[in-house]
Amino acid sequence: MNDKLIDFCLRIGDTSLILSHRIGEYCSKAPLLEEDLAITNVGLDLLGQAENFLTYAAELKGDTTADLLTFKRKEKNFRCLHLAQTPNTDFAFILTRQFMLDCYHKLLFDSLIYSKDDRISGISKKAIKEVNYHLKRSSDWILRLGLGTEESHTKLQNAIDQLWMYTDELFVDNETDIIINQSKIGPLSSSLKEGWKELVLPIFKNASIVVPENHLYSLKYGKNGFHTEYLGYILAEMQHLPLLYPDAIW
């Protein structure tokens, strides 16, 4: 059971960590100064959530820390969702990826507030306040892009068409999901699917977006340690200095 709880915490922490890193890559490149500040703050919120879950995972594992899990772990031992790994193709891709994960996090943390694990419940009670803001912001941007110019609508539709295939992983149960749910610590991933659609589809409809057909990206998922080609490049950048100077102290 302890191993599954660690795996569950890594999944949430790693997804927020990698998504935060992607947002950090975009710092200073947003179309408006106000948006540059806003998206950077979202990245900082995600980094805080990642630190909380990775710290808990490190305590459960013993003889490690959140920093070591971040900077010294191999790619195969990360558990982040594929969607968080996708590159910053353009602003529409960044906002679409964020919106899809905001809807997922909204449902996940709403459920985890009632977790029998007090540590996870406490982290989630803090995180849900941030997630509600993230979702409001990304929803507004989806509508703004979808109902804006012909170019903004086309770019948004293209982003959704390209990223939709990664959403299947959000709702696939593995052994960790089943044991965590049986222990009343967290929900089955599959149980979030209908609620996610209820959040996502009306926004897409109001933004005049055509929802793509379901085409699976892979049957090997990040939550099981199988990653896209993007994660290796992210880790090479993120872990470069700690691996080059392993005894350095900040």
In 3D space, the residue among 77, 85, 80 whose CA is nearest the CA of residue 50 turns out to be 80
Burial (CB < 10 A; 0-12, 13-18, 19+), residue 247, is exposed
Mean pLDDT (the chain) is 94
Residue type at 229 in one-letter notation: E
In 3D space, the residue among 67, 46, 47, 42 whose CA is nearest the CA of residue 55 turns out to be 67
pLDDT of residue 248: 76
Q: How far apart are CA 244 and CA 242, in angstroms?
A: 6
pLDDT of residue 96: 98
Q: How far apart are CA 133 and CA 141, in angstroms?
A: 13
Q: How far apart are CA 54 and CA 69, in angstroms?
A: 7
User: What values do phi and psi take at 232, rounded to 5?
Assistant: -55, -40
Residue type at 22 in one-letter notation: R
pLDDT of residue 250: 67
pLDDT of residue 217: 78
Per-residue pLDDT tens digits for 226-243: 999 999 999 999 999 888
DSSP 117: S
37, two tokens:
């500040």
Could you please state the CATH topology (level 3) that the domain comprising 2-244 is classified under. Answer: Ferritin (1.20.1260)
The pLDDT profile of the chain, 250 residues, written as one tens digit per residue, is 799 999 999 999 999 999 999 999 988 777 877 787 888 999 999 999 999 999 999 999 999 999 999 999 999 999 999 999 999 999 999 999 999 999 999 999 999 999 999 999 999 999 999 999 999 999 999 999 999 999 999 999 999 999 999 999 999 999 999 999 999 999 999 999 999 999 999 999 999 999 998 777 777 899 999 999 999 999 999 999 888 888 877 6
221, two tokens:
């998922």
40, two tokens:
């950077």
pLDDT of residue 38: 85
Q: Which residues of 9-21 are buried (b: 16+ CB within 10 A; e: fewer)?
A: bbbbbbbbbbbbb
> Domain spans of the chain?
2-244
User: What values do phi and psi take at 150, rounded to 5?
Assistant: -60, -40
